[in-house]
Structure formats: structure tokens, C-alpha cells
Amino acid sequence: MACIFCKIAREEIPAQIVYHDELATAFRDINPKAPVHILVIPNQHLTSLHDAVGEDHQTLVGHLLQVCAQIAEQEKIAQDGYRVVTNIGRNAGQSVDHLHFHVLGGRPMHWPPG
């Protein structure tokens, strides 16, 4: 499969991996938008959250969100606040067709974001 995130999850291409288990991988974004910017992905290829909202993936999506919270603790941004974002489709800014959550923190987050 040509998906860059699948290759990162399989450790076929280098990335700054900060978390890895049988279901998920987390790594630092190569173009960070905040002092802490980590992507959390399922190791299984799913195009977006829209494809993962059924009963088949409830456990996986819950696990990914738990990993997001664990990353916030690990990176010491949980206490001051952080943002978790997923984009669905090109118009929303999704640039890689593999479900991923952005964990952003280390600076004030403004609203609206885009």
C-alpha cells in the first residue's frame, strides 16, 4: 500500500515515533503548527473518521482518543490545555487519506481555528 501513514505505522519509513502499540502509532508532525504537534493514527488503514464511526471501529476510535490524552500527559500539555483535531475530506484540510488526530499544545489556541 502506498499510504505514507501506513508505512510509518509499519516502520518502513522514518518518523519521530512517540507511541506505538498493536492498534495505534503516534509521531511528531514534520510541519508543526504548535510547539507540540503529534499525529495519532490507527495502524489499520481507514480513510477518515467518517469511515470509522460504525460499530466495527468503536473500540479502535476510543483507543485512539485515549492515546491522544496519554500523549498530552506525556508531552506535559494536559494541564494547560490542548486541542485534538481530525479533518475529514479535502475541504476540511485533510491532506493524507488515512485517519489521524492532531494533538496540538504548548501555546494558546484561538477560536475559530480556520
> CA nearest 49: which of 87, 4, 96?
87
Nearest-CA neighbor of 65 among 34, 104, 24?
Answer: 24
Q: Is 100 a catalytic residue?
A: yes
Catalytic residue among 20, 100, 102, 110: 100
Q: Which of 30, 38, 57, 62 is nearest to 46 (CA)?
A: 57
Active site (catalytic) residues: 100
